[in-house]
Amino acid sequence: MAGTVRALGFAGSLRAGSLNRALLRAAVELAPADLAIETFDIAGIPLYDGDVEAQGDPGSVAAFRAALRAADGVLMATPEYNHGVPGVMKNAVDWASRPPGDSALARRPVAIIGASPGITGTARAQSQLRQAFEFTDSPCMAQPELLVFRAHEKFDSEGRLTDEATRAHLAKFLAAFRDWILRTGAV
């Protein structure tokens, strides 16, 4: 067994009360001892613009890319908007995907989780987000999945994940993600 595996986590919602930010906090709490998850707030990342990129990465983008490169794996908590990936999440992935073939995502193992109040628990958004990692050449963990449906019933008023079954499933998911990083990454 290697030493501690490092993952970078980010959520695709800007709301302070975001269920997905809360889910990411729960992931930090429930990760196995040998998986350290640092989080990155993507709120400062501007809309992708190739002209801006050509002049040099904005500070927030440079920091994001550096944090991704320092991580052994990437954990994303995505909401679902209109049966797809919210723009803020896709925009962060688009910046991270540059330049193609040599990006901070290339060959870096990734995993997706998500929470929504609906009954499908971000299934469509996760499926759509997964497609991006075919282009970035990032091994995306297929199983287990974590779809937190009726999520508003599973967190308390302070955003703590209180549903015991979801907590147990998240802990198993994170142990599998650690194994996935060790199996597919360059750790």
Ligand X SMILES: Cc1cc2nc3c(=O)[nH]c(=O)nc-3n(C[C@H](O)[C@H](O)[C@H](O)COP(=O)(O)O)c2cc1C
Binding site for ligand X (CB under 6 A): 13, 15, 18-20, 79-83, 116-118, 120
C-alpha distances out from residue 102 to 35, 75, 89, 138, 181, Å: 25, 19, 20, 11, 19
Determine how many CB atoms are found less than 10 A away from the CB of residue 157. 6
Residue 179 CB, shortest distance to ligand X, in Å, is: 27
Residue 67 CB, shortest distance to ligand X, in Å, is: 20
Alpha-helix residue ranges (DSSP H) falling in the chain: 19-30, 50-54, 59-70, 87-96, 123-135, 164-184
Residue closer to ligand X (CB basis): 83 or 160: 83
The values of phi and psi at residue 40, to 5°, are -125, 135
Question: In the structure encoding, which two tokens stand for residue 147, read together?
Answer: 């779809």
Residue 77 CB, shortest distance to ligand X, in Å, is: 7
Residue 128 CB, shortest distance to ligand X, in Å, is: 11
Residue closer to ligand X (CB basis): 19 or 31: 19
> Pairing state of beta strands 73-77 and 110-115?
parallel
**Do residues 45 and 60 make contact, with C-beta atoms less than 8 angstroms apart?**
yes
Residue 43 CB, shortest distance to ligand X, in Å, is: 12
Three-class DSSP category at 79:
coil
Residue closer to ligand X (CB basis): 10 or 133: 10
DSSP, res 98? P
Residue closer to ligand X (CB basis): 79 or 109: 79
Residue closer to ligand X (CB basis): 5 or 11: 11
Residue closer to ligand X (CB basis): 155 or 180: 155
Question: In the structure encoding, which two tokens stand for residue 155, read together?
Answer: 């967190």
Residue 42 CB, shortest distance to ligand X, in Å, is: 12
